[in-house]
Structure 1
Amino acid sequence: MSLIKLNDVWKVYPNSVKAINGMSIEFNKGEFVYIVGPSGAGKSTFIRLLYREEKASKGEIYIDNVNLSQLKQKEVPHLRRRVGVVFQDFKLLQSLTVYENIAFALEVIEEDPAKIKQKVMDVLDLVKIKSKAKFYPSELSGGEQQRVAIARAVVNRPDILIADEPTGNLDPDTAWSIMDILENVNALGTTVIMATHNKEIVNTLKRRVIAIEAGRVVRDEARGNYGYEV
């Protein structure tokens, strides 16, 4: 059974721009999927629809049989316990330490305080940055900040990790280290959906590739190539 299902989904913005045009697609539990396509193709809108940052204008999006279009706003935080999100620009809280940034993600969902420390230290170990637990984001490199962002997104062991250009601001060596982490997260059972322009990563780490153009799926290959000039 599909973990994520889009059925004839449309997203039309108030300026009449059709960002998503009748998209129907499914994702199975445990997949690692690249979302590729030229700038302006609708990749970011597609990503935002999956964690209900945007709401579809038409059609249905299901995550484990829950219809996102019917979710009340007060129910969205519960959805996001199951869907972790990593951004290109990290979005860390600058006034909090590495440890506090990750712990905060558990505090907002009212995790048992007795469990928070162990969960945070375990996930810091997963992303190999435990030694920087007391550092502030401004004291970290870009790659280290992205590791913290991933740790924050997966500390609650979500079913799905959505990564929007997670290597876009990183040098090649650092980008590959981030991919190692994402592959480890996927190996633990989390479904990973990653929007990217990184041709080398897509062509080297062969996974399912979904290409989007003008808000439509134009290619869906089990072990595809990037297929665009960058």
Structure 2
Amino acid sequence: MIEMKKVFKLYSNGVTALNGVDASISQGDFVYVVGPSGAGKTSFIKMMYREELPSKGQVYINGVELSSLKHKEIPFLRRDVGVIFQDFKLLPRKTVYENVAFALEVIEENPRKIRRRVMDVLDKVGIKHKARFIPAQLSGGEQQRVSIARAIINNPKLVIADEPTGNLDPDTSWEIMKIFDEINSSGTTVIMATHSKDIVNQMKKRVIAMENGQIVRDEQRGEYGYEA
């Protein structure tokens, strides 16, 4: 599903975020991306939804080389990719329902189908009863559930999460991880950058460890491997 071949990323400030990265991730994988701050994790995952382009090398999604995409083609790529952020990135003046529905409205989906799909997804993440609330009325865990609902509303083949439990307490973090596990069980690929040692060690998924812009470890049923 995802192939990276000799990927380098050099920023204008002189920082080399990725230094010759090779990686292969198959459909249905659940992958944790770990490593110290500044290791290149965020640049690595941003390559997968074309938020960043490599300075050198190639990134493929389902056989399509992302650098070759025209600007007008990028939204079609991202319909198959759901992205979840640590700080949620919800629209503050829109309700929970409106935040999630927006992802379908921009592709001009049928309004009746939008309502049915939004309510189904809100139910799946356990926040259907808060559909008419705005983000400021929700806890951090509830806001993250909304961002997950928004990310999976299009039934993406790939879900990418950048520190999705970073601002949450341990109990809420585990509730969120159960949702990710269920998403993965349905066949969706999940790639998650995280500093959560306990979650990585207990869930025993594939672990890609990065240091200084390079992959230094890639193991099935891996462990975090760093001090938290």
Q: TM-score, normalised by structure 1?
A: 0.98
Cα offset for 1:114? 2.3
Q: Secondary structure at the match of 1:19?
A: strand
Residue type matched to 2:191 in 1? I
Does the alignment pair 1:181 with 2:202?
no
Q: Where in structure 2 are the equivalents of 1:71-150 lying within 5 Å?
A: 71-150=69-148
User: Among 36, 46, 49, which residue is 1:48 paired with?
Assistant: 46
Identity of aligned residues (%): 64
1:205 maps to 203
Worse-superposed segment, 190-199 or 40-49: 40-49
User: Among 215, 218, 221, which residue is 1:217 paired with?
Assistant: 215
Query: 5+ unaligned residues in a row in structure 2: which ranges?
Result: none
C-alpha distance in 2 between matches for 1:184 and 1:123: 12
Q: How many residues align?
A: 228
Cα offset for 1:75? 1.2
Cα offset for 1:156? 0.4
Query: 5+ unaligned residues in a row in structure 1: which ranges?
Result: none
Runs of 4+ in structure 1 over 2 Å off:
none
What are the superposed Cα offsets for residues 25-74 of structure 1, whole Å, 9 maximum, x if unpaired?
Answer: 10010010000000000001111111111111111101001110111122
Q: TM-score, normalised by structure 2?
A: 0.99
Q: What is the root-mean-square deviation of aligned Cα atoms in Å?
A: 0.7
Does the alignment pair 1:30 with 2:28?
yes
C-alpha distance in 2 between matches for 1:42 and 1:186: 24
